[in-house]
């Protein structure tokens, strides 16, 4: 299985409490996804704060407004340090997204480490080169800009 990686870092002018409170709430996730993705949490009772073992269900429409079902598991949480979400069911063969928050010189450094793989072998790799990698970059760029607005950088 061919895996792909995406690594992003962003410096935030905020406290660890502010950053953790925002990012550890599944209810805030839709603020970080572009409107054209048709993202919606469909879990029956999303909680205010995530926890290890939590399952979150979504609908997302990344291509031609076709809705896809996506189910993730919060596989690891280290309070005010990091959390990991992994796909249980959805469009990827593998999706592992680690969100890391480091205090450094009066700032918070937010690090996203994404590892993903696609189904369909060579066809999946081609789709990644032609579309998916660029779409993920676009989503993370949108997220970067929204986070800057939210934390007044």
pLDDT in tens, the chain (153 residues): 899 999 999 999 999 999 999 999 988 998 999 999 999 999 887 677 899 999 999 999 987 788 999 999 999 999 999 999 999 999 999 999 999 999 999 999 999 999 999 999 999 999 999 999 999 999 999 999 999 999 875
- Superfamily (CATH) of domain 3-150: START domain (3.30.530.20)
DSSP designation for 120: S
- Listed by start position, the domains of the chain span 3-150
């Amino acid at each position: 299985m061919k895996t792909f990686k995406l690594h992003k870092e962003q410096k935030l002018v905020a406290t660890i409490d502010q950053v953790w409170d925002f990012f550890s709430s599944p209810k805030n996730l839709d603020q970080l996804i572009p409107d054209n993705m048709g993202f919606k949490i469909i879990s029956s009772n999303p909680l205010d704060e995530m926890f290890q073992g939590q399952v979150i269900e979504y609908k997302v429409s990344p291509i031609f407004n076709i809705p896809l079902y996506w189910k993730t598991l919060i596989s690891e949480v280290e309070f005010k340090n990091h959390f990991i979400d992994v796909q249980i069911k959805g469009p990827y063969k593998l999706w592992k997204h680690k969100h890391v928050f480091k205090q450094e010189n009066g700032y918070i450094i937010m690090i996203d480490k994404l590892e993903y793989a696609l189904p369909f072998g060579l066809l999946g790799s081609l789709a990644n080169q032609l579309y998916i990698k660029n779409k993920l970059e676009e989503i993370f760029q949108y997220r970067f800009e929204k986070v800057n607005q939210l934390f007044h950088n």
